[in-house]
Structure 1
């Protein structure tokens, strides 16, 4: 037997041999073995299975397939959807009640004298598709939305823009709890930048503390790696001073 193919080269594909013992009777079935001879035959089956170059292929394919399925969550209306969010070239069909309960900004759009109240359509072309999609999945009680570091960075600005405080708090708390897992210079500076831009002092303090512990290399090497990130140049001077002073104090305490 071959796995979805024939005449495979056994030198390239692992061989699994299985021995199957069968009991066969001569020209009849269910005979009494005490009266009729029993002939046992051993069948050896050789099965070739395809070698997968990397075990990472399987999770990646599953992830891509799962991602495509998730993209279809709000792609079409159902009997309960009553608002449309247009993001770039996508339309999301969602629920006014969920938007209004979570966001004072959406509530004002849909219940005050704004055009969205009459049209039932909210234009959000200034926001990336994935950010709005993840926010909707977070608001949907039927979806088990799982946050991670990258999503937290992206969603804090979205949550602040639309006043979705629950989403903002979840993202900030996640970063605070997983600060030791923010391991690259770019991610550390991104965390400081997000905290500064969106006024989260507790996150700022934790991120600067993480920056001071970043790498065991000499002080000047620490700073050069942090300065090389795109986020360093966008920080306010006061934040840069606090960062440098904290790192210098931490460096001196260990030397």
Structure 2
């Protein structure tokens, strides 16, 4: 009788569940970023515009025009400070911590596509930043003017800072993948490029996320803006380009063997 040799088939691996993988990556990101110190810092930054609104509301008619007050506080504190700082902390912390403890090396050896790892981290940082920043705008607006929304400023800036949170998170997530000094470089970018240069030089406004946020907010307010600087259409296209570049370059960066450079 001839004998038949049984050849074992190669193991078959199931298809990657992108939703489940994204949820796992987001939970890991929260575990790396949800420290008491970081949470306290984020809450302190978010509380600043609310505190200014409390002072404004306590003075009653002596406070002046609520439109001017809201525009100034939203532009300088929420758009210029809170949104980029929160995005910087959330966009850089997870990759930095996972590089230090070796978790990132394990993640990239799984069957999960590298670009999906980057996109999942970007979704975590952008959505959380956008929700927190928009919540700060709504809370400070409610404290200052109650349920009224003069010229649609509160609703306009709520949308604008959510947009800004997505854009900043993409920028700082890419920064975390490209340099080990991402936190320092990000702070220099926020304070110097966005804070000083974008207000001084007209051309830099087209490369400023803060000015993009202003353009989005002005397009949603009653009466619009003054038409100077980038338009809302330009801002939306620019944000899409930043997100696409982050996912593409971030995915390629995770394919490189020397991942020890990643982090802050």
Larger Rg: 1
Structure possessing the higher relative contact order (Cα contacts under 8 Å, 6 or more residues apart): 2
Determine which structure has the larger helix proportion and give its number.
Answer: 2
Fold shared by both chains (TM-score > 0.5): no
Determine which structure has the larger strand proportion and give its number.
Answer: 1
Q: TM-score range by the shorter chain?
A: under 0.3
The two structures have a TM-score, normalised by structure 1, of 0.23
